[in-house]
């Protein structure tokens, strides 16, 4: 699978979201962080904003739900126009039923793991998912430092995906930048969320191109990719 770069609008200007989406032309998905001040100690946006944003841009929306009760809310984000919906394993009451419901409504189903949540208990669920998100910071805020200690989990997850012959995308989110993207790609990630490393620069579209080039180079030399 080709490398994908998903800018996070958490680091964009919320009063100009349509323009900010325009500013990252060439991005694969627009990453939309939904926070409820319960699952994480921060509050961002909800279904109506996703609905408006999906009408305002051709870039598909990758909604990352950092909320309690995703079983109730995730389907509404699909109806609002999200092309991919990520719920947290720690918050979902019935992750298999929820993933099936998201897929049945026509979106890609994805599950996220906080840094302290291991992948191993979820091995049997992987065929139910289109993407797995490994958080590389504690969720809640943009601009945090990348957690290097997550690299072994990325490697183990890539091994599981290969062993089961799955088409699952492996996303990393948090502190992904020019300094860290190559380590993530070498470990096995193929979808890269970047907030401050894209919107914190003078030229967000150029930042997307440059992260993509770095990730592609690192993937080309990675043992997990060479084995395919
Ligand atoms: O989900 C989150 C934070 O909880 C992320 O999507 C951040 O928005 C990424 O921002 P950077 O770490 O790239 O600045
Ligand atoms: Fe996110």
Query: Strands across the sheet with 84-88, in order?
Result: 4-7, 191-194, 169-173, 131-135, 108-113, 84-88, 61-66, 30-35
Q: What is the pLDDT of residue 228?
A: 55
Q: Catalytic one among 33, 36, 62, 190?
A: 33
Helix (H, G, I), strand (E, B) or coil at 205: helix
Q: What is the pLDDT of residue 227?
A: 59
**Tens digits of residue pLDDT in 5-23:** 999 999 999 999 999 999 9
**Tens digits of residue pLDDT in 169-204:** 999 999 999 999 999 999 999 999 999 999 999 999
Q: Does the global pTM surpass 0.90?
A: yes
Residue 92 C-alpha to ligand 1 middle, in angstroms? Answer: 21
Three-state DSSP string of 2-34: CCEEEEEHHHCCHHHHHHHHHCCCCCCCEEEEE
pLDDT at 42 over 70: yes
Mean of pLDDT over the chain: 97
Q: Examine the predicted complex and report whether its ipTM is higher than 0.95.
A: yes
**Tens digits of residue pLDDT in 127-162:** 999 999 999 999 999 999 999 999 999 999 999 999
Residue with tokens 């032309």: 25
pLDDT at 80 over 80: yes
Output phi, psi for 105, to 5 deg.
-85, -5
Question: Given the CA of residue 140, which atom of ligand 1 is nearest to it?
Answer: 4
- For 4-226, CATH number? 3.20.20.70
pLDDT at 60 over 70: yes
Using pLDDT thresholds of 50, 70 and 90, give the confidence band for residue 1.
confident
11 is in an annotated binding site: no
pLDDT at 226 over 80: no
The preferred substitution site among 90, 141, 194, 198 for testing ligand 1, maximizing ligand atoms within 8 Å of CB, is 141
Question: Given the CA of residue 146, which atom of ligand 1 is nearest to it?
Answer: 12
Q: Where are the alpha helices (DSSP H) in the chain?
A: 17-22, 47-56, 70-79, 95-104, 151-163, 181-187, 196-199, 204-220, 223-226
Q: Catalytic one among 28, 36, 130, 173?
A: 173
33 is in an annotated binding site: yes
């Amino acid at each position: 699978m080709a490398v994908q770069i998903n800018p996070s609008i958490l680091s964009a200007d919320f009063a100009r979201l349509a323009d900010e989406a325009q500013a990252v032309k060439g991005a694969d998905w627009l990453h939309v962080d939904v926070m409820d001040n319960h699952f994480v100690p921060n509050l961002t946006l909800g279904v109506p904003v996703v609905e408006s944003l999906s009408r305002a841009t051709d870039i598909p929306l990758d909604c990352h739900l950092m909320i309690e009760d995703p079983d109730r809310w995730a389907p509404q984000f699909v109806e609002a126009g999200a092309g991919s919906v990520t719920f947290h394993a720690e918050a979902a009451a019935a992750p298999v039923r929820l993933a099936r419901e998201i897929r049945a409504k026509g979106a890609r189903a994805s599950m996220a793991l906080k840094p302290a949540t291991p992948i191993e208990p979820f091995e049997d669920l992987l065929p139910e998912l289109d993407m797995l998100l490994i958080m590389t910071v504690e969720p809640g805020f943009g601009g945090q430092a990348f957690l290097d200690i997550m690299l072994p989990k990325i490697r183990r997850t890539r091994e599981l995906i290969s062993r089961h012959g799955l088409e699952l995308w492996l996303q990393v989110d948090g502190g992904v930048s020019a300094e860290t993207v190559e380590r993530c790609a070498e470990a096995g990630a193929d979808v890269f969320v970047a907030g401050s490393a894209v919107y914190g620069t003078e030229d967000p579209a150029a930042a997307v191109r440059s992260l993509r080039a770095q990730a592609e180079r690192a993937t080309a030399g990675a043992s997990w990719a060479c084995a395919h």
